[in-house]
Structure 1
Amino acid sequence: MEPYATADQVWAGALIFARIGAIIMLLPGFGETYVPPRIRLSLAFVLSLALWPLVAGTLPGLPATLGGMFGWILREVITGLMIGFLLRLLMAALSTAGEVVSLQTTLSFAQTANPLQAQPATTIAAFLTLFGVAMIFATNTHHLFIAGLLGSYEVVRPTAPLMIEDFTDVAVRTIGGSFLLGVQLAAPVIVFSLIFNLATGLVGRIMPQFQVFFVSTPLNVLLGLSIFALSLGVIGTVFIDRLRAVAGTFTGGAVG
């Protein structure tokens, strides 16, 4: 390898690839299960080569022992997984919103394969998760992700102590915020369902002989999906704004 790269250069590239590869594995849009592993590895390798001239000076030197090398690489992998995990948590907000909308419109039994989660989910939840990925690339939010790869070396320096306690605190708050965001995104349908069910109950009490469920069920589905379709633009805008706010914390000095 000496004619092509020195040992220190190979070591720096390995450290960068360890962090970038771990982030790409979980990054929304890039780290989905339907993206072939070779594509993700190739992207991580290309990004590592692009970032090497910019961050090589902040990396620790080549350790003298094999254990030291393994420890530094493991530290960078853990750092990358923590950063990617925080961004991945926000994608759960769309899945939560889809499940809530499905429950309110009596479509929770309509299950389908969710390509982003590799497990069955309601049709509306699968649609919203795919919609979220499409919005990420349509609004160029993935550019902010790439800038955040560079900025992560300012926020979490390779030579600084690993911030496990800070990450745990941020992860807990992000999980709570993700669930709250999912409920907020489904709020229009929740309000409609509450009003509609109250009206249905009053009609049932006033006219006991009227087949209220026979008439209300198709109306509930039709009107609920109509309100969901009308609020889809707001759902996408609010989700992207929240995702950009979280990703912006890692840009650091990468963007100005």
Structure 2
Amino acid sequence: MEPYATADQVWAGGLIFARVGAILMMIPGIGESYVPPRVRLSLALLLSLVMWPLVAGTLPALPPTLGGMVGWIIREVLTGLAIGLILRSFMTALVTAGEIISMQTTLGFSQTANPLQASPGSTLSAFLMLLGVTLIFATNTHHMFIAGVLGSYEAIAPAKPMIAADFAALAVKTLGESFMLGVQLSAPVLVFALIFNLASGLIARVMPAFQVYFAAAPLSVLLGLSVFALGLGVMGTIFIDRYRALARVFTGGALG
């Protein structure tokens, strides 16, 4: 390698690639299973080369031992996986919203293959997950991922101690906020289902001979999906705003 790059340059590029590759393996959209591994590896290599002049000053020197090299690489891979997992975990807000809406509209038994998850889920959850990934790219939020990778070298510099406690606190906070957001996104359908079920129960008590279930089931699906469709634009806007706020944590170096 000496005719093309020095040992220090190869070491710096490999260390950057370890973090960038781990992040790209986990983030929504680029890190999905349907994206060819060669595409992800090529993008990670390209970003590593572009970022090398910008972050080379924050990288440690080439260790004299093999054990030291392996330790630094494992540390960077774990840092990248932690950042990617936090960014991906917020997508569970859409899964929560989809499952709640499916239960309230009696569509919970309608299962379909979700390309963004390992196991199948409800149809509405799969739709909302695909909508979320589409919004990330349509609003250029994926550009913030690149800025976040660069900003992570200020917040979590390799030469500084590993802030595992801050990562754990941020992960717990992100999961809590994603669950709360999922319930908030499904609130219109929850309110509709509450009112509709109360009305159906009242009709069943007033008219015992009337087959309420056969009349209420199709109405519940039709009206519930109508409420869901009317609020879909607001749901997407709120989700992408909250997701961009999470991405700014790494862009602005808030972990530091």
* TM-score tier after normalising by the smaller chain length: over 0.9
How far 1:38 moved relative to its partner? Answer: 1.2
Q: Does 1:173 align with 2:173?
A: yes
Q: Spell out the pairing of 1:1-256 with structure 2 (5 A cutoff).
A: 1-252=1-252
Unaligned 5+ runs, structure 2: none
Rounded to whole Å, the distance in 1 between the matches of 2:186 and 2:39 is 34
Paired residues, number: 253
Cα shift at 1:37? 1.1
In the aligned structure 1, how far is the partner of 2:12 from the partner of 2:26? 22
CA separation in 2, counterparts of 1:176 and 1:250?
Answer: 19
- Matches of 1:130 and 1:89, distance apart in 2: 15
Q: Would the aligned equivalents of 1:33 and 1:118 in 2 still touch at CA under 8 Å?
A: no
Structure 2 Cα separation of the partners of residues 40 and 95 of structure 1: 25
**1:242 Cα deviation after fit:** 0.8
TM-aligned CA deviation for residue 252 of structure 1: 2.5
Q: Could you tell me which amino acid in structure 2 is paired with residue 21 of structure 1?
A: G
Deviations 1:190-229 (A, max 9, x none): 0000000000000000111111111000000000000001
CA RMSD of aligned residues (A): 0.8
TM value normalised by structure 1: 0.97
**SS of alignment partner, residue 251 of structure 2:** coil
CA contact (8 A) 1:97 1:186 kept: yes
How many angstroms does 1:146 deviate by? 1.0
Counterparts of 1:252 and 1:133, CA distance in 2: 23
How much has 1:88 moved relative to structure 2? 0.5
State the 1:118 CA deviation: 2.5
Q: Distance in 2 between matches of 1:60 and 1:49?
A: 17
Counterpart residue type for residue 223 of structure 1: L
* SS of equivalent to 2:250: coil
Provide the rounded CA distance (Å) in 2 between the counterparts of 1:252 and 1:241.
Answer: 16
Q: Percent identity of the aligned residues?
A: 70
Cα deviation 1:98-140 (Å, max 9, x = unaligned): 0000000000000000000132100000000000000001101
